[in-house]
Amino acid sequence: MKKGLALVAAAVMALSMLAGCGGGSSSAKTETKAQTEAQTEAAGESQAEAAGTASTLKEGVLQVGVEIGYPPMEYFDEDGKTAIGFDIELAQALAAEMGVELELVDTAWDGIFAGVDTDKYDVIMSSVSYLPERDENYTLSKTYVANAPVIVVPNDSEIADIADLEGKSVAVQMETTADYLIQEQISGGLNTELRQYEKVINAFDELKTGRVDAVCTDSVVASYYLGDEANNYKTVWESPEKEPIVMCFKKGNDALCGEMEAALDALRASGKLGEIATKYFGSDITADLD
């Protein structure tokens, strides 16, 4: 895919990381005072947790980097201003579970990772696929959606498999796993014309007008972009390997990763995660995740 959990004590956070906090009477008074202070301190900690004490850049605010242009994961509603989609609603639910406010930072995909590196936001939640090289350079959460690259073609196309792209043209959103997949195929000897676009919607526009033979993209977004014309197209190939979608943090930010994973677990346990998934995908595609 592109561009990818309730606060807990420090010990729980560490476990939730990806692999992927004088005389007798005087002694009695001292003991009573110590017990009172301990109770007061515990109450204060409980109140602090309820108020939201996430390890975020801005106190009380979770700043999330997104590329709002990748339905049904993140996109603008009909008013052109309101951000909606699976990632958006999940980010809202996570922030609420953590007791903090949510601030979305709309960022172009080609600069989204640089943004988290330079502390422009706390985390990227924008259909980020798990890749080994990303795992080396960033702190990645556990999977929250499983996805897979697919190839979409017109119903009358003779393309039936990825190998059938030989001598054909295929459109992708640049710097996505679909882009990398086709580049790997070309490196392996596949003679296909790769056309890269800044937005995935541009790739589907090219398919609809007949300027390319196929589109390679994510299974969770393919049908959405075809819209009312979906019946005129078909998915002819899907990668046998599922593509984990994760949250992406600046390297070493294990504390916030743990807090958000704990909140994600709470949303899964309450059924809220499945509810959001069903709303956007038609079924709870998160049910079988570990």
Whole-angstrom Cα distance, residue 260 to residue 273? 13
Quote the pLDDT of residue 24: 35
Q: Are 238 and 119 in contact (CB under 8 A)?
A: no
Whole-angstrom Cα distance, residue 204 to residue 215? 7
Residues of the chain with pLDDT under 70: 1-53, 223, 290
Q: Are 255 and 55 in contact (CB under 8 A)?
A: yes
Quote the pLDDT of residue 225: 77
Q: Determine phi and psi for 180, rounding to 5 degrees.
A: -65, -35
Going from the N-terminus, what domains does the chain have, and what CATH number goes with each? 54-146+245-281 (3.40.190.10), 149-238 (3.40.190.10)
Provide the token pair at 172.
């992708």
Q: Determine phi and psi for 236, rounding to 5 degrees.
A: -105, -10
Cis peptide before 71 (omega within 30 of 0): no
Q: What single letter denotes the amino acid at residue 169?
A: S
Instruction: Using CA atoms of 69, 75, 77, 83 in order, give the dihedral in degrees to the nearest 10.
Output: -120
